Amino acid sequence: MSRLVAFLFDTSQFSGPSMTLLGGNLLVLAVLFAVGRYLRKQSESMIDPAVIRSFDRRIVGWIAILVILVLALMVNRTFTLVFFGFLSFWALREFITMTPTRRGDHRTLFWVFFLFTPLQYFLVALQDLSFLPNLPNRERFAELFIFIIPVYASLFVAGRIAFADDAKRYLERIAKIQFGLLICVFAISHAPALLYLEPLRTFNAEANAWEIWTTGTTTGLLLYFVIIVQISDLLHFVWDRMAGRHVIAPSINANRTWEGLTGSACCTLVIGMFIQAVMPITPFQIVGSGLMACLISVMASSGSMTMSAIKRDRGVQDFGTLVQGHAGILDRIDSICFAAPIFFHVTRFFLATQHVPGNGVQ
Amino acid sequence: MKKVTVSILVGLAKFFSGATVRWVDCQPDTCQRIYFANHTSHVDALILWASLPRRIRNVTRPVAAKDYWDGGPIRRYIASVFNACLIDRNEVSRRNSPVDMLLQEMGDKFSLIIFPEGGRSPDGELGTFKSGLFYLGKKRPDLELVPVFLDNMNRVMPKGEVLPLPLLTSISIGAPIWLEPGEGKTEFLERARHSILKLKES
């Protein structure tokens, strides 16, 4: 019983710097939100009201995600995982709703929704579920989450649809379902998986040696990731509006410009270095943190572009308007879906120590 | 006990269908109405019923086929939970007219949900209407006949499947129509059918 209680409430993950960072960030968001509100009241001739609306939506979306994330983190990292699990589930249902499927795909989709999506998250959480009976080789099972969808699920989708005896647009249908699963479930699950990426090592410049990272927790790592993505998202928006001249791909997304991409990447690089210098919540060096932030920014842009391309292909404006009245989850997390797996794997490649999922048992 | 089952079923139906309800030129009201909708899936009646506001749900009864919903204890229980009127599709005669039976079940309190196509359309297209709607409108001219368009339900649970998918659906509820004086059966049914098609485009 006490094990269960200890499992449920674990606030020790929050360190001072991560609280400061979070507070500062929420403050900035609140100010931006107020600015948006103020601008909306100004005459419409000055600023396009559609721009303000999209700016507002962005900010509100990010405030919501951050608040829920922090609440989930305060309880326990498994709750954070469950939160992301629901996010995945919702994103996937938006994705599949938008994608034309055929009768023959019905049962495949059932397993995609109700087996592979929960299983992916279950595997991430596995090493934590201490009240489960002891599994032999728990680490071996836990590392499955890195390849269960790319290997087992994608082959299952192809095979199961073939068994359903409907050859029309076969290749197209399996590709769509596989990609939906890859983006909405596999990629997004890498954000909460950051919490389980421990112990990490860090480079001690004074001693000129690697040591186990003890000055922070992986909660800081996830917060760092989410906040950088969101800052990069906002900066991209601001740069596009202020200095955007050369649109990257007008037929995909008329708003995204090269100036926005490079501007936000450079700014996030500086902000990444600044965060690590002032509030060291990651195991990176100052320069490393800048480079990581820059990488996250570029991947976030690529993710958004990809989602725009999918939307144009399907001929929808926003995932949110797909079915009237739904808040488009996919619109809000499009920047996470590329950045999360890359950030996870780069961090793991450089900083993981032995007992990390996917690292094998040494 | 039934109340718990109702909330569970309503919750499940809402979760699975992610249904958005749009009231187009029509307001929620507890006055006696006949909601007539296109039919593509077994979950249609359940989802539409679950998506109505509670006070309206309490006075609304879906009309369902006896041959399906009377088959087996679970289906029978579900049908009783959402207070369905079961009609026999096989034994329709003048003496055993479903229209009179429905009017009797409605009394002066209940509204009905009916699917005038008489069965699920296999391809999602709107088929021709059976005449029941016309006779209901003729015998009770005070009833509001409200068209409802259900979108994407056939993907949630197509004909022949038992397991639902959690896809997003939408329900559009349109402006009520009445039988015009002197309007013929085919004319009226075509107009009713058209009112659903119009919702599809709106």
Please spell the DSSP secondary structure of B93-161, one letter per residue. -STT-HHHHHHHHHTTT-EEEE-TTSS--SSS---PPPTHHHHHHHH-TTSEEEEEEEESHHHHS-TT-
A72-126 pLDDT, tens digit per residue, is 777 778 888 998 999 999 899 988 988 888 888 999 999 999 999 999 999 998 8
A221-253 pLDDT, tens digit per residue, is 998 999 999 899 889 988 988 888 899 999 888
Q: Scan residues 127-186 of B and list those with Cβ closer than 8 Å to A.
A: 151-152, 155, 158, 161, 163, 165-170
Pairwise CA distance, residues A96 & A319, whole Å: 11
Determine the residue among A323, A326, A329, A331 to mutate to test chain B binding: the one whose Cβ has the most chain B Cβ atoms within 10 Å: A323
pTM of the predicted model, to two decimals? 0.84
Question: What mean pLDDT comes out for the span B25-37?
Answer: 88
A51 burial (CB, 10 Å; 0-12 / 13-18 / 19+) is middle
Q: Residue ranges of the alpha helices (H) in A76-210?
A: 77-98, 106-111, 117-125, 138-142, 154-163, 170-181, 188-193
Determine the residue among B168, B170, B202 to mutate to test chain A binding: the one whose Cβ has the most chain A Cβ atoms within 10 Å: B168
Looking at beta carbons, which residues of chain A come within 8 Å of B18?
A: 93, 323, 326
Determine the residue among A96, A106, A110 to mutate to test chain B binding: the one whose Cβ has the most chain B Cβ atoms within 10 Å: A106
Which residue of chain A is at minimal alpha-carbon distance from B154? A103
Looking at beta carbons, which residues of chain A come within 8 Å of B170?
A: 323-324
Question: What mean pLDDT comes out for the span A340-357?
Answer: 83
Task: Indicate yes or no: CB of B168 within 8 angstroms of CB of A110.
Answer: no
How much is the pLDDT for A45? 60
Task: Indicate yes or no: CB of B166 within 8 angstroms of CB of A106.
Answer: no
Q: Which helix (H) or strand (E) holds B171?
A: strand B170-173
Cα dihedral B31/B34/B39/B41 (nearest 10): 40
How much is the pLDDT for A354? 59
The lowest-confidence range among A16-30, A145-159, A170-184, B6-20 is: A16-30
Task: Indicate yes or no: CB of B170 within 8 angstroms of CB of A94.
Answer: no
B127-145 pLDDT, tens digit per residue, is 888 888 888 888 888 889 9
Pairwise CA distance, residues B87 & A6, whole Å: 56
Task: Indicate yes or no: CB of B20 within 8 angstroms of CB of A325.
Answer: yes
Least Cα distance to A93 among B49, B5, B6, B169 occurs for B169
pLDDT exceeds cutoff 90 at A179: yes
How much is the pLDDT for A359? 46
Work out the pLDDT band at B3, boundaries 50, 70, 90.
confident
Which residue of chain A is at minimal alpha-carbon distance from B168? A97
B60-93 pLDDT, tens digit per residue, is 999 888 888 888 888 888 888 888 888 877 766 6
**Coil, strand or helix: which one is A63?**
helix
